[in-house]
Every structure is written in C-alpha cells, then in structure tokens.
Amino acid sequence: MSNYSPVKKEAAAEERALLPPVDVIEDSSGITLYADLAGVPKEKLHLQVEADTLTIEGEIDLEVPADMQVSHAEVGLPRYRRVFTLSKELDPSRVGAELKDGVLRLSIPKAEHAQPRKIEVKVL
Amino acid sequence: MMYRSLFPRDILAELDRLQREMQQGFHLSPSIRGIARGGFPAMNVGGTTQSVDIYAFAPGIDPATLDVQIEKGVLTVAGERKLDEAGEEATLHIDERFAGRFRRVVTLPDDIDPNAVGASYRNGVLRISIARKLSAQPRRITIE
C-alpha cells in the first residue's frame, strides 16, 4: 500500500474574494511581505498562521451613500484573501504586521537556527 | 503604457466581473476613456441623485502628492507610487504591486457641479464626491 493521502478538501463554502497584489522580499534576517489592501481598516484585517499556512484576509469598508447605484466597478468584491505556505526556516511566532494607507507590511523572521552563519575554515 | 493586472491569477473573479458588467451596462462612463481596465488605481464609480462618487483604490500613497483635476467634464487622477526598495542583498520573490507614475481619466456626466467637489483619502482609497447641479436633482412638484 502506498501512503495515499486524500486530497485536502478546499473550503468551497468560503466567500469569494479578490486576490491582492503582493511583493515578497527576502533578506538574511527574514521575509518581508507587502500586500495592497486598499479600503481595509485595521479592525477588518485578519491574519492567521496555522501550521505552515499564512492567511491574509481583509474586508473592504467604504463610506457609501445608502442610495448609491454603482455604474462602473473594477473592485467588484468586498474582500481580499490570499494564502501562503511558509517554509520551515521561518518563525511564525514572531510575525510583525503593520497596516498603513491600505498597505500591509508583514515581516516574518527566520528562526534562530536558520540565520546565516559564516563557517570558518580552519587551516591545518 | 503597460498595465499589469491588479488581481492576478484570479480568473474566476475576472470572468464573473465581466459577466456582471455586461449585464449592468455602462451608464456613467461609456466613453473611450472610461473603460480602461486593469490600470492603477482601480476605480469604482457610483452615483446618487445628489452626487457622483468616484472611489480610487490607491493604497500606500501620500495624499498630498495626488493630483486630482476636473476640467471640461473630465476627472483626472494622477500621481506617483514609490515603493520601498529592496536592499542590495535582498531577493525579490514576488513582484506584483504597481510602482511608478499613474494617470487615470474618467468622463463625468453632464449634470455635475465642478465647484462642489470633496475629496478624502482613507485606508488607501481616494474618494471624490462631486455634487450634481441643483437643477438636475429631482424635485417633487406640488399640484395646486
């Protein structure tokens, strides 16, 4: 018997969402992720790390007149969602997050043991 | 000018949007300018009997550097978006966010009052609200 693993069931019941554009930059200390979440206030931003999965979710909150009729919509859904798989050398317990003017900045440091070390070469 | 897709790899959402738009038709911006898609910032346009409201999704911009103009019934939103640059020893793994100068133009309806405009920037969304001319607003007529 091969170890057959059933395909993970996608959460199909989840509401549809926009995929926000992101930049991901890595340097020796960790990974920095920027996500454009225009219209999302701090209270409606949800960040979650579960095992090795990072989920970014935000709801757009605009002041819209009650009787407004939309005539042209390029942002056609009221929420953003994007999921990333983190790699082992990252330390999800020390994720830092800032939200300013609709831009989320996440910094995910590398775990201590994964920090780069210079290996000294001994001359014998 | 090259535009990159705002919400990449989300084919289903794109198809859905397309369908919705076809059903909806264009009321406010049927012009050649009004339907430039995928540009930055993304725009939603709506209206009430009193005003026309334009929402520009422009996150991470200093509102003082935004240039918003109304001229001859055309609204122009222009500016520049500068992103934090990656250091020399950093690796850029994903690069999707818009950077650089932008300009978007929206044709406005005829009944707006270009002198009654309000603009605000909140959570990365620029909202421009333009009042309609009083003469264009609906009035109840009393029968004597």
Mean per-residue pLDDT, A84-103: 91
Residue from B76, B51, B1, B88 nearest A71 by CA: B51
pLDDT of B8 reads 56
pLDDT of A56 reads 95
What confidence category does residue A13 fall into, taking pLDDT thresholds of 50, 70 and 90? very low
pLDDT of A120 reads 82
Q: Is there a contact between B18 and B98 (Cβ–Cβ < 8 Å)?
A: no
Give per-10-residue mean pLDDT for chain B (144 aa): 52 67 51 57 91 94 92 91 82 89 89 91 95 81 84
Contact A25 B86 (CB under 8 A): yes
CA R_g for chain B: 18
ipTM, interface predicted TM-score of the complex: 0.78
Residue from B62, B55, B57, B95 nearest B80 by CA: B62
pLDDT of B3 reads 47
Mean per-residue pLDDT, A35-40: 96
Domains of chain B from N-terminus onward: 11-84+95-134 (2.60.40.790)
Q: d(Cα B75, Cα B128) in Å, to the nearest integer?
A: 10
Contact B97 A34 (CB under 8 A): yes
Residues of A within 8 A of B93 (CB-CB) are: 24-26, 31
For chain A, the domains span: 22-64+73-112
Q: d(Cα B57, Cα B77) in Å, to the nearest integer?
A: 11
pLDDT of B29 reads 46
Is A90 a residue whose pLDDT tops 80? yes
pLDDT of A19 reads 92
Query: Is A22-64+73-112 assigned to CATH 2.60.40.790?
Result: yes
Which of B10, B21, B87 is the closest to A19 by Cβ? Answer: B10
**pTM of the shown model:** 0.74
Mean per-residue pLDDT, A16-41: 93
A8-22, A69-83, A110-124, range with greatest mean pLDDT: A69-83
> Chain A residue closest to B7 (CA)?
A19
What confidence category does residue A51 fall into, taking pLDDT thresholds of 50, 70 and 90? confident
Q: d(Cα B18, Cα A74) in Å, to the nearest integer?
A: 10
pLDDT of A52 reads 86
Q: d(Cα B6, Cα B20) in Å, to the nearest integer?
A: 18
Mean per-residue pLDDT, A100-112: 92
